[in-house]
Structure 1
Amino acid sequence: MEEETVKTVETSEEQLAKQHRKEKKDMQAKIQSMKNAIPKNDKKRRKQLTEEIAKIEADLNQKHEEELRPLKSTADTEVEQVLNGVEAINMDDGEEEEGKQPRLTKAQKRRDKKAAEEKERESRIAEAEVENLQGVRHLEGLKLAQKLAQQQLQIKEISSDGHCMYRAIEDQLAQRSEPGLITCVKDLRSSSAEHMRGHADDFLPFLTNTNTGDMYTTDEFEKYCSDVEHTAAWGGQLELQALTQVLHLPIEVIQADSATIKIGEEFESQPITLVYMRHAYGLGEHYNSVEVLKDPASAEDG
């Protein structure tokens, strides 16, 4: 009798869990359909959609909790009754308690542990989504998208590996398809370092020892240039200044909260356009390339 009671409780929980999994799957399909129905550049509607999605998920979670509550209450009562029955039997036969009580208790603990782990996992996912949607990285991305849209451009993601500035320039040069241009990261680094060595007076005043505050010595400057050429040292405005002279091209750097930086304006060609991000990937500073803004409808189809 005790075994039948426990099996009945377990079967009911399994059926409800199966139903809940299906409802969550249907909800995810509905959410995806809602996302696909809104153009990517409709920021206002997408913000409203985020709030709608959060409400849909919260309502479903509340519904599931309400459905589980009476079942858990019933299960706890029935298990308690079974255990009490076992204890009564154990007054006459201690060996029977030893055989049955631990088995029932462990089964309940496994179910409780699994439910707690699932709830914690869902909570972590929800927190991550909120942080991503409301955090500084998301806000920075929105501002940049708005600025770029005015020029009919959008961000083209570049990998974050220490070479991002050079890879972004490499991508911009590849889009031009102009013969004679340096088009690989290794050559961009080498040419940048070579130009800095040959024009030390233009760069030394901007390089200081972080410990002493003094301007770089000749040896320190040479090490700096060597790192530019041979390592994955991050590039910055000094390297951009060198590359404008090497490539004879202007470079513009678009930022979310500051005016666009323009370097090499003495050159009249179409500028290389980079996007500077302060909060990308949780790693801090990062450069991306840009590309022509895609039509939302065709982007969805692709």
Structure 2
Amino acid sequence: MEELLATHRKEQKDLQARITQKKKSATKKTRRGINQECDMLQRELSERHRGEIAELKGEPAPPVDGLEELDLNGSEEDRDQKDQTDGSQQPLSMDNSPDTSSATSDSSAPSPRPKKPNRQKARLARRAAEQAAQSAVAAEEAAKQTDHRGNEKEAMDGVFKRLGLKQVEINPDGHCLYSAIAYQLEMLGLGLKPDPKRIILEKPTQSRIDTVASPQHDGYRAVRAVTADFINEHQDDFVPFMEEPVDQYTRKIKLTAEWGGQLELLAIARAYGVEINVIQGDGRIEKIEGDTQEYDDEERSKRVIWLAYYRHTYGLGEHYNALMK
């Protein structure tokens, strides 16, 4: 008997899983038919189980009663779903025919349908929750990261104060190195035209120098041209450090907004006969000397240019500002 009951429990569990799957896949049009089919399957299984138990006990088979075991093992959720679908709480008749009087009553006073969930609102809510979670993760990661910008500014300000330097903001447009140099050459009284003994200027370069309206705003055009001319005249000193032909390299310097770096600073220092001191973001000072031995001490002290080189403070990337005593 125990073995048979265990078999019955397994068959009942399997049938319940089938019924649940059928009801989940039902549409509005097929729900009534599927509910009736599920009721029939449950009734047939219950009748078979009663017959097998009676046969094992040697008793006569019990009479068929379509209502005795109908969906007794079904879940409350399934019964509620069926009740909402059928529109009434009354049991089915033996031949599963619809109750005419109930249908008439339902047509005169229809029961309210359950409100469907708003899928768009649900999607928006999920998206908002995901964005909030991502923002929280990003904020947590940001809190763990090093404040490069804050550290850089703190180090820079300390050096400025120690050396008595005042920062002059230069527009971060790709010309910042050349604009900072042009501004300081003018402020130091050195001018944008270098000593002819140091470099022979090409005619276009001389024209650029002569047409500068404001050293701080368009002086970079003159400094770029002088830098390119000096590299062209002293190619042996610069070509080993280039990754492209010298004519392409100097053309970018003269005609584009290509950023300047170490090679350009060296060419500027030598072309104008100045010493360039670059304050780094960690407080170090890099000195680039431009052969100023021909000048006396007083003149050399006037031919010193200061730059502040930032890596993290400005949104566009690396940037140079001018510094004045």
- TM-score normalised by structure 1 residue count: 0.50
Matched, 1:262 2:275: no
> Given the alignment, which residue of 234, 252, 255 partners 1:230?
255
Question: Counterpart amino acid of 1:126?
Answer: A
* Counterpart for residue 250 of structure 1: 275
Count of residues in correspondence between the two structures: 194
1:118/1:87 Cα in 2 relative to 1: closer, same or farther (>3 Å)?
Answer: farther
Matched, 1:272 2:305: yes
Structure 1 alignment gaps of length 5 or more: 1-84, 210-215, 293-302
1:134/1:91 Cα in 2 relative to 1: closer, same or farther (>3 Å)?
Answer: farther
**Deviations for 1:16-47, whole angstroms, at most 9, x for unmatched residues?**
xxxxxxxxxxxxxxxxxxxxxxxxxxxxxxxx
Give the 3-state SS of the residue equivalent to 1:134 in structure 2: coil
Distance 2:190 2:277 in 1: 22
Question: Counterpart amino acid of 2:116?
Answer: Q
* Counterpart for residue 146 of structure 1: 158
**Deviations for 1:218-252, whole angstroms, at most 9, x for unmatched residues?**
xx222222221122222122211221233333211
Distance 1:200 1:207 in 2: 10
Distance 2:221 2:288 in 1: 22
* Counterpart for residue 101 of structure 1: 116
Post-superposition offset of 1:129:
5.7
Larger Rg: 2
4+ residue stretches of structure 1 with deviation over 4 A? 85-91, 154-157, 280-284
* Counterpart for residue 65 of structure 1: none
Post-superposition offset of 1:110:
6.5
Matched, 1:181 2:192: yes
* Counterpart for residue 123 of structure 1: 136
Distance 2:162 2:142 in 1: 28
* Counterpart for residue 12 of structure 2: none
Distance 1:162 1:128 in 2: 31
Checking the alignment, whether the CA contact within 8 Å between 2:269 and 2:276 is kept in structure 1 is yes
Over aligned residues, Cα RMSD in angstroms?
Answer: 3.9
Distance 1:282 1:208 in 2: 27
1:281/1:179 Cα in 2 relative to 1: closer, same or farther (>3 Å)?
Answer: closer
Checking the alignment, whether the CA contact within 8 Å between 2:192 and 2:222 is kept in structure 1 is no
Is 262-271 or 111-120 further displaced after alignment? 111-120
Checking the alignment, whether the CA contact within 8 Å between 2:279 and 2:307 is kept in structure 1 is yes
Whose helix fraction is larger, Structure 1's or Structure 2's? 1
Post-superposition offset of 1:264:
3.0
Aligned-residue identity in percent: 32
Give the 3-state SS of the residue equivalent to 1:101 in structure 2: coil
Question: Counterpart amino acid of 1:181?
Answer: L
Give the 3-state SS of the residue equivalent to 2:179 in structure 1: helix
Checking the alignment, whether the CA contact within 8 Å between 1:275 and 1:290 is kept in structure 2 is yes
> Given the alignment, which residue of 198, 207, 227 partners 2:241?
207
Checking the alignment, whether the CA contact within 8 Å between 2:279 and 2:285 is kept in structure 1 is yes
Aligned counterparts, 1:1-302, within 5 A: 92=87, 96-97=112-113, 100-103=115-118, 107=121, 109=122, 112-113=125-126, 116=129, 119-120=132-133, 122-123=135-136, 126-127=139-140, 130=143, 134-153=146-165, 155-173=167-185, 176=187, 178=189, 180-181=191-192, 183=215, 184-204=219-239, 206-209=240-243, 220-257=245-282, 259-264=284-289, 266=292, 267-281=300-314, 285-290=318-323
Question: Counterpart amino acid of 2:268?
Answer: L
**Deviations for 1:169-203, whole angstroms, at most 9, x for unmatched residues?**
234345x1737436211111001111222223333
Give the 3-state SS of the residue equivalent to 2:222 in structure 1: helix
Give the 3-state SS of the residue equivalent to 2:301 in structure 1: coil
Checking the alignment, whether the CA contact within 8 Å between 2:224 and 2:254 is kept in structure 1 is yes
Post-superposition offset of 1:254:
0.9
* Counterpart for residue 42 of structure 1: none
- TM-score normalised by structure 2 residue count: 0.47
Post-superposition offset of 1:106:
5.6
1:115/1:203 Cα in 2 relative to 1: closer, same or farther (>3 Å)?
Answer: closer
Give the 3-state SS of the residue equivalent to 2:302 in structure 1: coil
Post-superposition offset of 1:273:
0.9
Give the 3-state SS of the residue equivalent to 2:173 in structure 1: coil
Distance 2:81 2:189 in 1: 85
